[in-house]
Structure 1
Amino acid sequence: MILRILKNIDFTILFAVLALSAFGTVMVYSASMVSGVMVYEVTPDFFFKRQAISWGMGLFALFLGIIFPYKNYRRLFKLILLVTVVLLALVFVFGHTSNNAQSWLPIPGIGKFQPAEMAKMSLIIYMATIFTKKSDYIDDFTRALLPPIILMMLVVAMILKQPDLGTALIALSVSGLIIMSSGVRKIHLFSMIGIAVVGAIVMYNFGLSEEQLSRFNGAYQPFEYADDAGYQLINSYLAIHNGGLFGTGLGAGVQKLGYLPEAHTDFIMAVIAEELGIIGVGVVLLLLGLIVLRGLFISMESHDTFGRLLAIGVAGLIGIQSMINLGGLTGLLPLTGVPLPFVSYGGTSLLMMMFSAGMLINIHAVSKIKKSQQEKAAA
């Protein structure tokens, strides 16, 4: 079966993922070689080496995602969700705090692991499984919708508690996308959207810390808060302006020299814009768009509801996370600390993104194999 899957690989996704992740590793080096010494007091290649190791592990995760039959996730979804909830709980006991968020579990001899990144993928598998099982009575709100929504909100609440607003927003959005795609009644869908809007208003007025609220000022009034909340965004604008069409050249950017905080993580696209210009940004957006569009096409090609919902969830995850990251560095959205898929520094994020891309490739391969079998049977 593995050989048949490998013969039916979606090379568009495979090429885009390998190109983005390899390019991202190079850009992490360019973006962090100065700040590594000046800010973090490590060697210039410290973050590059760690990202290169993560990339190597990501290749294995990609391969594993490709060869592991996606239908098996339906049998394992309870175990996957249980492990995720346990890891999220352990964060509050043993978690490492960075940038005012307790989001990482230390792993002796290896580094740190971010369970919230795993939670996004676990929720996709859970929601796709549950709404496949409930497809026969999807119109019944109490039986079909209420239980998975409650469990989803529990996981999202655990992520919010860290606090990690960006990841929680992504998990909530992707789960909502799967619910929308499951065939729920419009009245139920609009009711949930209304509740979500009210919840967002309440959260904004009563649930956000002063630091989180300041990010709205930084996004929409950056020049009035140039010394604090708007500092990152203003320097992001300067990086984009400096780059122009062709950029200043790889490694020749100025804003990463202590002016642009988190240049190798949240704001790596600003470094790309400065050093490789609009053309470099365009190539990255093209590759990300290819993955998302192919994911949506794969969902339409899938012969079963679970594969369709799983593909929609993965494509939605990559697309939504990309939009939130890019929205932050352009001022369209408040900063949330969300990494750019496949490109930003971050081992857990890279591993989970490459694994999820492998899942898409597996869904495509299995669909092609099944279609070929049906054509042979019909002949």
Structure 2
Amino acid sequence: MKPQKQPASSPQPTTASQHRSRALRSPASRGYASVETSSHGSVEDVDFYSLRQARIREEEVARGADLRLVPLERELEGSDLDEKFDRLVEGERQRSRPKRKASKKPSVAKAPCAPCHYGLLFATLLLTVLSIPLVYSASTAIALENNGNPDFFLTRQIMFALIGFGVMVGASRLSSAQVRKMSWVLYGVAVLGLILTKFSPLGFSMGNTERWVKLGPLTLQFSELAKIALIGVMADFWSRAAKDSQRSMWPWAAVAVIAGIPLVLTFLQPHLSATLVLFALPVAIAFYAGAPRKHFITIFASLAVLGIVTISLCKTGNMPLMAKYQQARIAAHFGGDGKSEAKTSDYQKLQGERAIMRGGVRGVGPGASLYKMGHLPAPHTDFIYAVIGEEWGLFGTLGLIGLYGAIVFFCFQTGHAAENSFDALVCAGVGTLMGVQAAGNIGVVSGVLPVTGMPLPFLTYGGSGLICALLGIGLVLAISRSHCDEA
């Protein structure tokens, strides 16, 4: 009889534990896997099973158990150990693979420039373009009286604006390393120019001050260049020495020397407003760089004492190293004789306040200013804000304040997005310069501050101030552009 065939039994479903047991009996389950480990394409077996057993021994020792080999099947019942083993295997495979060399080829697609790049450029161009008709409106009377040509200051302001635009574009193409080097060059040129202003026949006097160097048809004011140069130099210095200031005083001594040279030379001209700015910039940049706060408490306390002493001595006319007209202005602001307004040194400020009050909310209209007709001694320079307030009213002055606020904001935003501390400090320094000068000029015209001769950035007539202001904006644009290119 033929043996009867047994009926084929239906396959039983395989459980998860049976799958695990089969996997463990397979060659790969013993912990061997083929991976590439060299650039020559050779293959070696990495004993993951031994690695796993070593890990189990370490865990047993940590739990205080005897050293014994725990069966892998029992240990793999825990999901936590499964995950650890998988991560161990994957990590060994990743380390065994040859590393790829990073591509040196730059990315073709570049990120678009940040909005602050365009916002800063727009606000700067708008203010500079507006300066042309505003200077013309404020200067026609004085130009006709002194030069016989009502367009005298208009043509020169247009020329200064065109040169300034060229300087801004050129500066915006610089790299961060080039800005570092150029800052020290500009610093040397500014110090040399300040020395020539005070101690050479090239120095040109106007009124009670000697602030310019006359080179043929050009009249240069090097204190304006010193402001921009000092920003770059201080940014370079503090980007390298910020950590040393935490445990040593030598960075402060170096700052006192570097910033003190142009500051003293500017004070001797005399030019009080520029001196105050040249003092404020290094202090502000040191603060932004993270210098110890205890030093700033000492600085501000010393300034408070110095201010009280200065005001007291100016009221008596005995303040050393200050010109008589400067002492008279400070004394007039802090308690001058209001009954003889026209005879006090506070006369300009009083006339500026009246011009703004006459303008009201809507202004008297373009070109219809009354106070520019001899009532304001400097309607196209230091007191152009008063003429703007008279002709364009509250709406016009608020618009200007908004533009200056936008410039300061965009400068600090660019610095916040910068890749290194030097770039960030340059942007913060330029923003501080624009904000301090705008606030100082508006404060003087509004009667909040004593008269110091602070220019209004981009709007005050003058080539040195306009070109140097556009140079500072160009440096910020260069940093913004480099950030966009690297993004």
- TM-score, reference length from structure 1: 0.92
Q: Helix, strand or coil for the counterpart of 1:33?
A: helix
Partner of 1:330: 446
Partner of 1:97: 205
CA displacement 1:238-268 (0-9 Å, x = unmatched): 2111111111110011110111110000010
- Answer yes or no: is 1:226 the counterpart of 2:341: yes
| Contact map agreement 1:218 1:233 (CA 8 A) in 2 | no
Q: Helix, strand or coil for the counterpart of 2:219?
A: strand
Counterparts of 1:77 and 1:56, CA distance in 2: 23
- Which structure has the highest helix share of the two? 1
- Answer yes or no: is 1:209 the counterpart of 2:323: yes
CA displacement 1:275-323 (0-9 Å, x = unmatched): 1111111111111110001111111111100011111100000000111
| Contact map agreement 1:222 1:234 (CA 8 A) in 2 | no
- Answer yes or no: is 1:190 the counterpart of 2:305: no
Partner of 1:348: 464
Partner of 2:158: 52
Q: Helix, strand or coil for the counterpart of 2:477?
A: helix
| Contact map agreement 1:298 1:308 (CA 8 A) in 2 | yes
| Contact map agreement 1:222 1:230 (CA 8 A) in 2 | no
Partner of 1:375: none
Q: Which amino acid in structure 2 is aligned with residue 211 of structure 1?
A: Y
Partner of 1:180: 287
Q: Which amino acid in structure 1 is aligned with residue 113 of structure 2?
A: N
Partner of 1:318: 434
Larger Rg: 2
| Contact map agreement 1:253 1:274 (CA 8 A) in 2 | yes
Counterparts of 1:113 and 1:188, CA distance in 2: 36
Q: 1:77 to 1:29 in 2, by over 3 A?
A: closer
- The range that moved more, 217-226 or 121-130, is 217-226
1:69 to 172, 175, 188: 175
Counterparts of 1:54 and 1:65, CA distance in 2: 16
Partner of 1:170: 277
Q: Helix, strand or coil for the counterpart of 1:104?
A: strand
CA displacement 1:36-78 (0-9 Å, x = unmatched): 122x243111111111110111111111121122332223443
Q: 1:359 to 1:6 in 2, by over 3 A?
A: farther
- TM-score, reference length from structure 2: 0.72
| Percent identical residues | 27
Deviation of the 1:203 alpha carbon? 4.8
Deviation of the 1:195 alpha carbon? 3.1
- Answer yes or no: is 1:269 the counterpart of 2:385: yes
1:136 to 243, 247, 262: 243
Q: 1:369 to 1:138 in 2, by over 3 A?
A: farther
Deviation of the 1:146 alpha carbon? 1.3
1:255 to 368, 371, 382: 371
Partner of 2:113: 8
Counterparts of 1:222 and 1:24, CA distance in 2: 35
Structure 1 residues without counterparts, runs of 5 or longer = 373-379
Deviation of the 1:99 alpha carbon? 2.3
Q: 1:5 to 1:82 in 2, by over 3 A?
A: farther
Q: Which amino acid in structure 1 is aligned with residue 338 of structure 2?
A: F
CA displacement 1:139-191 (0-9 Å, x = unmatched): 13422221122221221011000000001101111111001111111222212
Deviation of the 1:22 alpha carbon? 1.0
Structure 2 residues without counterparts, runs of 5 or longer = 1-105, 314-318
Q: Helix, strand or coil for the counterpart of 2:213?
A: strand
CA displacement 1:85-139 (0-9 Å, x = unmatched): 1111011112100121111011213x20000000111111111000111123121
| Contact map agreement 1:29 1:45 (CA 8 A) in 2 | yes
| Contact map agreement 1:218 1:231 (CA 8 A) in 2 | no
Greater relative contact order (Cα 8 A, min sep 6): structure 1 or 2?
A: 1
| Contact map agreement 2:184 2:232 (CA 8 A) in 1 | no
Q: Which amino acid in structure 1 is aligned with residue 148 of structure 2?
A: V
Q: 1:72 to 1:287 in 2, by over 3 A?
A: same
Partner of 1:377: none
Q: Which amino acid in structure 2 is aligned with residue 22 of structure 1?
A: V
Partner of 2:75: none
1:112 to 219, 225, 236: 219
Counterparts of 1:225 and 1:308, CA distance in 2: 49
| Contact map agreement 1:6 1:67 (CA 8 A) in 2 | no
Segments ≥4 residues shifted beyond 6 Å: 4-7
Q: 1:140 to 1:192 in 2, by over 3 A?
A: farther
| Contact map agreement 1:224 1:230 (CA 8 A) in 2 | no
Partner of 1:364: 480
Counterparts of 1:18 and 1:265, CA distance in 2: 19
Counterparts of 1:80 and 1:259, CA distance in 2: 38
Q: Which amino acid in structure 1 is aligned with residue 341 of structure 2?
A: A
